[in-house]
Chains A and B, each alone.
Chain A
Amino acid sequence: MIQMKPYEFMVKYTQQKDWIDGRGNFIAFAFFLGGISGGLYMAAAYFDSLLGMFVAWLLSLLMGVSYLAHLSHPFRSWRMFMKPGTSWIARGFIFIMLFIGFTTIQLILSQWVPEATTAITTLKVLAGIFAFAQSIYTGFAVSYVSAIKVWNSAIVPILFVTCGLSGGLAILLAVTMAGDHAQLVALENVTRVVLVALAIIIGVYLWNTTYSSTAAKEAVKRLIGGSLAPLFWVGVFLFGIAIPIIISIITYFVGEASSGLLVTAVVSEIIGGLALRFAILKAGVYTPLLPAE
């Protein structure tokens, strides 16, 4: 273990470790799972894929488990409903619970009482709202932290939602791969648009953040050319954007893509989404309290 001497504390850019090291890894997973779960549900509800909605429900449950694993005292987690007025973590916990609740009832009705269309539609709308909330709140939880300048950007929630939607669409693509061809083509078209949007949002976010403060600029430097560059360029750029877009272009011109190519795109997008959460959380640095030199 590295012993930090008192005079080394906060005299240089200090990386946040509480939400990335050790138990902190679970919160990065939770944010990732929340994003793709929300994105998948919204996409699955739009394309009316019951299996997709079920997978979204499962992923949301996994998100809850990951959240609990992050806590030092998971048995006190019921207390996390206490402060929705000011805490994004408390709000998020409520969103997750409501999403799981509405989706559970909707899935039961859709499977066993399909004639209850009004109830199913209402529940889909409600679950869809909380799927979106579950997806976007992770971004707000991060962007609310004014102490970490690279996070403190209004673009972060948009980035997290778009990334979640991209991952969700990828999973839906995998789920419907063996199904209706027309639906698959429609899904591929939507995925292309979302991927391009994601690439633009990442670019704008990095560009915009560079000009916000010196700490944010330092963080972006670490992402693009420093210690986090492999994670960013390989994980986020290559897997999250380049490979899926290249495959997307191929499928656009070839017409019908092989299932191997689609699986590669799906896996690649999921890795990219996970890498994005890790990259952004790892990039969080605090402004030094004293100058080091």
Chain B
Amino acid sequence: MRWGMAIELKRCIGCYECVLACKAEHFLPPDIFWNRVLIGESGKYPTVTKLIYNVRCNHCADPPCVKVCPTGATQQREDGIVWVDEDKCVGCRYCMIACPYQMRSMYEDDSKEYFPGQGLTEHEKVGRELYPHKPGVVQKCVFCKERIDSGMAAGLTPGVDREATPACVTSCPTKAIHFGDLDDPNSEINRVIKEKHGHPFHPEFGTDPSIYYID
């Protein structure tokens, strides 16, 4: 089993809903993003193309971040999900340096508030209880592994059932993001990748990403 995503770029409208859903799902502190929307342009007038790429950790099959981590804090599960054990991370930032996609963030300051000087909001207070983030450690997208694990334990199928699927996928208003098992030849995600010619982002980095983009 290897979880992966396929993102249809023509369907993405750059609404940032996936970014907000991720923030809300994991109660991410200020300045921390586990996924982002990159916007760029290519070509010259009059043949200019606007590029909108929703990016997050690629959960690479050959992840350099896992290799360089000196403590074993960055780990890869059998289902391909790369995650950080916050209790083992020493904060050396070697994984941040090694990621060619720059999809890792260091959470340094837990005193930051979303509205500086006005105290924590109710959402932030609840977040610190439900999803505490430890300062001084590296953070990244975990493909909502909690949703996947609890969903599968309840007999649900990630990518099919909403409760077992990553928040960014379920929140997308245009259904631009597909999620599923890349190792299952009959999965919906493999069908989409095959039919629409999905390709990884910057395959030249050589890390074998688990996220595919469809032009």
Contact = CB atoms under 8 A, between A and B. Distances in A.
Interface of A: 6-7, 9-11, 14, 16, 18-19, 24, 27, 70-74, 76-77, 79-80, 82-83, 86-90, 93, 141, 144-148, 284, 286-287, 289-293
A73 B70 contact: no
Nearest to B137: A72
6 contacts: A6-B33, A10-B101, A72-B108, A82-B71, A89-B94, A291-B40
A144 B68 contact: yes
Given A6-B19, A146-B206, A72 B97 contact: no
B55 A289 contact: yes
Given A6-B37, A73-B91, A146 B100 contact: yes
B90 A76 contact: yes
A154 B96 CA distance: 21
Contacts of B88: 76, 79
B156 interface: no
A147 B69 contact: no
Contacts of B92: 27, 70-71, 80, 89
Interface of B: 16, 19, 33, 36-42, 51, 53, 55, 64, 66-73, 88-94, 96-102, 106, 108, 135-137, 201-202, 205-206
A16 B69 CA distance: 17
A6 B36 contact: yes
A66 B36 CA distance: 34
B98 A147 contact: yes
B70 A293 contact: no
A146 B72 CA distance: 20
A80 B90 contact: yes
Contacts of B38: 6-7, 9-11, 289-290
Contacts of B36: 6, 9
SS of A interface (majority): loop
B101 to A, nearest CB: 7
Contacts of B90: 71-74, 76-77, 79-80
A80 B71 contact: yes
Contact of B64 (A7, A10, A146): A146
B94 A147 contact: no
A289 B97 contact: no
A252 to B, nearest CB: 42
A9 B73 CA distance: 26
A101 B213 CA distance: 52
Contacts of B100: 146-147, 286-287
Contacts of B72: 79, 82-83
Contacts of B99: 147
A278 to B, nearest CB: 15
Nearest to B108: A72
A14 B96 CA distance: 13
Contacts of A80: 70-71, 90, 92
Which 9 pairs between the two chains have the least Cβ-Cβ distance?
A: A72-B91, A72-B136, A290-B40, A147-B100, A90-B70, A79-B71, A18-B93, A89-B70, A7-B39
Which of B37, B38, B71, B89 is the most central at the interface, judged by chain A CB atoms within 10 Å of its CB?
B71
A7 to B, nearest CB: 4
Given A82-B72, A93-B70, A291-B40, A147 B206 contact: no
Contact of A147 (B51, B55, B106, B205): B205
A169 to B, nearest CB: 30
A83 B90 CA distance: 13
A291 B106 CA distance: 25
Given A19-B97, A291-B40, A89 B91 contact: no
Nearest to A70: B92
A18 B42 contact: no
B191 to A, nearest CB: 27
Nearest to B96: A18
Contacts of B53: 289-290
A88 B67 CA distance: 9
